[in-house]
Amino acid sequence: MAYRVVIVGGGAAGMQTALELKSRGIEPVIVERDIELGGKVRGWHKLFPTFVPASDVLFPLAQRVKAARVRCFYGQEVTDIASDGVTLRSGERIPADAVVMATGFTLFDAHRKQEYGYGLYDNVITSVDLERMMNGGGVTLADGTKPQRIAILHCVGSRDEKVGQRHCSKVCCITGVKQAIELREMFPDADIFNFYMDIRMFGPGYEELYREAQEKYNIHFVRGRISEAAETIDKRIQIKAEDTLTGRPLRMTIDMLVLLVGMSANYENEGIAQRAGLELAPNGYFKTVDNFLGAVSSNRRGIFYAGAVTGAKSLADTLAEASLTASAVDDYLKEVFNK
């Protein structure tokens, strides 16, 4: 009889872990809070740095999970975990020989940065809203017209002590570059500005894309965070910032402000960790045994991690890590049960 591993979360990390476990002869069971698989990637338009449609990754992944006949529980929330199974909010318990936490992250709530007026001013949107607009009917201002002057603000809810988010969300910089290029292709005559404090281009092809954005797509990069946004009488957005390279304050009026929202740890992590005896990092993400040989292992044997549940990660890194998690689970099961 195959060993059973419960995977909490049916996003990219959960699906990839399930497929890898299945290929190793282990029975994966996915418990997903939503009514379908896909997690945060669902609804995303294109992926950095190659502009591959997100559906080109997500759809085949979900198809493979279906073809592999992975058992999935939908609309179920896990409230407690242990190395021998998980407990659902309904009280039902799913026994297992090991558990993988793949619950990902929570998008930073842009309302918390009140100075930017998200939810208050019609033409202040988030990077997630922009992806959905690009995936849907197209990008327009609230009145249906085309934006002629767009600002993209990096690090909204990242590296920001004021809102208790000290960590870097890693993927926002390259997302900002990607979205700026997409906006340029949609609006060839528009002025597009990216406001940043640092540009962190850590992945393959990222730095090249950043240069291309400047040289080929004429995206303006301004080193300085926007301090506040306010609506003008004609429903445009007035922003204030400091251009820290020239050392001068800056005030300009734009048509649309895009807030690159960061990744936050899930609110539920604390309770789950406390009850299961798991360690959390200071930023609220689950803490791994170490960053090297134990990068997917928790401090509790039999409980493993995959993807952004341990910190901000790109989709590529998440998928790679999920394979590593499956390998670590396999090693654990052999060690514990095949003595």
Partner 1 sequence: MRRASWQEYQKEIADNKYYYARSCIRQNFFPGSERAFLDILTNDLGVDIFDDPLHTSCTGIGYHSDVVPLETIMTVVARQFSLMAEAGYENFISSCITSFGIYNEVLATWEEFPETEERTRRYLREATGRELVKPRSIAHTSDIMFHHRHSIARRAKRRLVNLYTGESLRVVEHIGCHYAKIFPKSGIGGSEFPYVLAGMIEAWGGDVVDYPERRHCCGFGFRNYLVQANRGSSIANSHKKLESMAPYKPDFIVANCPGCAMFLDKWQYAISEMDGTTYGANGRGIPVLTYEEMAGLVLGYDPWELGMQFHQVDVEPLLDKLGVEYNPDAKYLGRDGKLIGRPRAVAVNGCGVELGLRR
Where on the chain is the footprint of partner 1 (CB under 8 A)?
111, 114-115, 120, 228, 230-233, 238
Nearest approach, Cβ of 114 to partner 1 (angstroms)?
4
Indicate the residue among 114 and 244 with the shorter CB distance to partner 1: 114
DSSP assignment, residue 61? H
Nearer of residues 92 and 115 to partner 1, judged by Cβ = 115
Judged by beta carbon, residue 231 or residue 268, the one nearer partner 1 is 231
CB 236 within 8 A of CB 123: yes
- Rank residues 246 and 253 by Cβ distance to partner 1 and give the closer one: 253
Q: Which residues contact 108 (CB under 8 A, 6 or more apart)?
A: 156, 157, 158, 163, 165, 169, 261, 262, 263, 264
Q: How far is the CB of 150 from partner 1 (least distance, A)?
A: 18
Residue 238 CB, nearest approach to partner 1 (Å):
4
The residue (of 63 and 253) whose beta carbon lies closer to partner 1 is 253
Q: Would you say the C-alpha torsion 32, 37, 42, 46 has a positive or negative sign?
A: positive
Least separation in angstroms between residue 252's CB and partner 1 is 11
Q: Which is nearer to partner 1, 148 or 227 (CB)?
A: 227
Cα separations in angstroms, 218 against 17, 176, 215, 279: 40, 14, 6, 46
Q: How far is the CB of 119 from partner 1 (least distance, A)?
A: 8
Distance set, CA 303 to CA 2, 6, 14, 101, 266 (Å)? 18, 10, 14, 7, 18
Cβ 117 to partner 1, closest distance in Å?
8
> Among all chains, which residue has been given the structure tokens 């609220």?
284
User: Per the omega criterion (within 30 degrees of 0), is the bond before 49 cis?
Assistant: yes
The CA-CA-CA angle for residues 86, 312, 169, to 5°, reads 145
